[in-house]
Amino acid sequence: MREPTQPPTSRPQGLLWPLLLLALGGVALLLGLEAFPPAVADLIGRAWPVILVVAGLVIFLDQSGLRRWAAPLAVVVSAALLVGIIAVAYTTRASTEREDNVVSVEQPLGPGVQRLVVTVQGLQTRVDIAPSSREEPTITAEFSGSIESEIEQDYAEEGDTARFVLRETRPSAIPALEAIGRGRLNVELPPGLPLELNFRNADGAAVLNLLGLDVARLNINIAAGDLLLSLPDTALEQPGDVVVTRGNVTLFVPDDLGLHLFVNGPVPQFAAADYLLDPSDGSYLSRNFDDFQTQMALNLTVSSGSIRLE
């Protein structure tokens, strides 16, 4: 008497095709109903060839005798490809300079303003700050960049102090790939007024020409990007703070400014031997520091990059 035979066990990849078809149908339906944000729909349209790779991989593994690994490997490979495609696409676009969105700012100061506090925050933007040549005390700025970026500004006067904030934001959590790119922001500040400058940039180079401005306080923080900083020839009310997480720093020091530099990072390179190392705290001091009428203390932190003084 013959023993009953066991029914053949289903292979893991046997469920892959029905699930894949269901997923494709669901995504296609949602795309037709415009249920996805435009940026997500655009990415789905670009990444659909991953399905062909998954199908080919499953067939190849099945023919090679690796049936039990076909489904899990296909999922892992497809996920890795999808993440890689998105990362490469955004990284490539991120280095492109865009001019789709142009915003101009002109903010005159009131006649009673005796002190100016300015905050500038950028994202993927090259920022230039310089003194204004206008006769009337006015803050001007011009941004050109992606339509995904918005420029927010706020101005208020409190007694004899004016506070001005210029901030680049990106409201969309998933920006459209076609609109990704770097911007440029040029800011001109009025000379002759004591200035507190707070500058932040997420990813982009900065050229800050502060010579000619009456800078009283200075705070700079750049996450990624090179910094060219021309120091003012005025004394700060307290030591300035400059932090560059990833990028090279070049300081231009006026001839009539005595600089006391506290460095947290690589050893600075000096264009001329005009600085002495203080072994007590590891700081650098302008030669004949006490003879300078204008003196400045500056804390400089560079996590990854170089430092050069000229």
Same domain, 87 and 142: no
Residue bearing the bigger pLDDT, 17 or 283:
283
Same domain, 27 and 66: yes
Same domain, 21 and 87: yes
- Asked if the structure places residue 224 within a domain, the reply is no
Residue 140 and residue 152: Cα distance in Å, rounded?
14
pLDDT tens-digit profile of 115-165? 999 999 998 899 999 999 998 999 999 999 888 889 999 999 999 999 999
pLDDT of residue 172: 73
pLDDT of residue 170: 84
Burial of 309 (0-12, 13-18, 19+ CB in 10 A): buried
Question: Among residues 282, 276, 237, 274, which one has the least CA distance to residue 256?
Answer: 274
Average pLDDT for 282-309: 94
Asked whether the beta carbons of 250 and 229 are under 8 A apart, the reply is yes
- Asked if the structure places residue 37 within a domain, the reply is yes
Same domain, 118 and 64: no
Mean confidence (pLDDT) of the chain: 83
Same domain, 186 and 132: yes
Which domain, by its residues, includes 26? 12-94
Instruction: Kindly tell me if the per-residue pLDDT of 10 is higher than 50.
Output: no
